[in-house]
Amino acid sequence: MVGLVLVSHSARLAEGVAELAAQMGGAELRIGVAGGLDQPGDPLGTDATSVVRAIDDVWSEDGVLVLMDLGSAVLSADLALELLTEERRGRVLLTAAPLVEGAVAAAVAAGLGEPLERVALVARGALAAKIAELEPETAGEDALREASRGDPSAQPTAAGPPVRSVRLAVTNRLGLHMRSAALFVRTAAAYDADVTVTDLTSGRGPAEARSLSAVATLGVRQGDEILVQASGPQAGEALAAIERLAAEGWGDAPDAASPEAPALVEARPQAGAVGSSSAGAVVARPGEPGPSVLVTFAADEPARAVIEDVLGDVASVQYLHDVADGERRSALAGADVLLFGDIGDALTADEWTALAAASEPAASAAKSLPAPARLIQLVSAGVDHVPFERIPPGVLVAGNAGGWAEPMAEHVLAMMLALAKRLLPEHDELRRGGFSDRVPTRELRGGTCAIVGFGGIGRAVAPLVRALGMKVMALNTSGATGVPADFIGTLADLNHVLRLADVVVLTLPLTAASRGLIGARELGCMRRGAILVNVARAPIVDEAALYRHLCANAGFSAAFDVWWHEPSGGEPFTVGHPFFELPNFLGSPHNSGIVDGWFEFGLRRAVLNVRRHVLGRPVAGLARAEDYVT
Residue 381 amino acid letter: A
How many other CB atoms sit within 10 Å of the CB of residue 298? 11
**Radius of gyration, CA atoms only, the chain:** 26
Catalytic-labelled residue, pool 9, 411, 549, 613: 9
- CA distance linking residue 220 with residue 226, whole number of Å: 8
DSSP string, 388-451: GGGSPTT-EEE--TTTTHHHHHHHHHHHHHHHHTTHHHHHHHHHTT---TT------TT-EEEE
Q: Give me the sign of the Cα torsion angle 321, 325, 327, 333.
A: positive
CB neighbours of residue 116 within 10 Å: 19
Q: Are 109 and 118 in contact (CB under 8 A)?
A: yes
Amino acid at 7: V
| Beta-carbon contacts of residue 147 (< 8 Å; ≥ 6 apart) | 604, 608
3-state secondary structure string across 27-80: CCCCEEEEECCCCCCCCCCCCHHHHHHHHHHCCCCCCEEEEECCCHHHHHHHHH
Rounded distance, CA 240 to CA 125, Å? 29
Alpha helix positions (H), 112-228: 116-124, 128-134, 136-139, 178-189, 212-217
CA distances from residue 333 to 310, 318, 323, 386 in whole angstroms, order as listed: 23, 13, 13, 19
Is 9 one of the catalytic residues? yes
Please return the burial class of 605, using the count of CB atoms within 10 Å of its CB with bins 0-12, 13-18 and 19+: buried
Q: How many CB atoms lie within 10 A of CB 457?
A: 32
Distance of CA 198 to the CA centre of its chain: 14
Residue 9 and residue 4: Cα distance in Å, rounded? Answer: 17
CB 65 within 8 A of CB 32: no
Give dist(CA 69, CA 190) in Å, integer. 32
Q: How are beta strands 448-452 and 503-506 bridged, if at all? A: parallel
DSSP state of 541: B
| DSSP secondary structure code for residue 205 in this structure | -
Bridge partners of 560?
534, 587
Q: Is 503 helix (H, G, I), strand (E, B) or coil?
A: strand
Query: How many Å apart are CA 511 and CA 629, to the nearest integer?
Result: 8
- End-to-end alpha-carbon separation of the chain, Å? 53
557: part of which helix (H) or strand (E)?
strand 557-560
Parallel/antiparallel/unpaired status of strands 207-208 and 316-319: unpaired
- Assign 17 to helix, strand or coil: helix
Coil, strand or helix at 385 = coil
- Which residues are marked as active site? 9
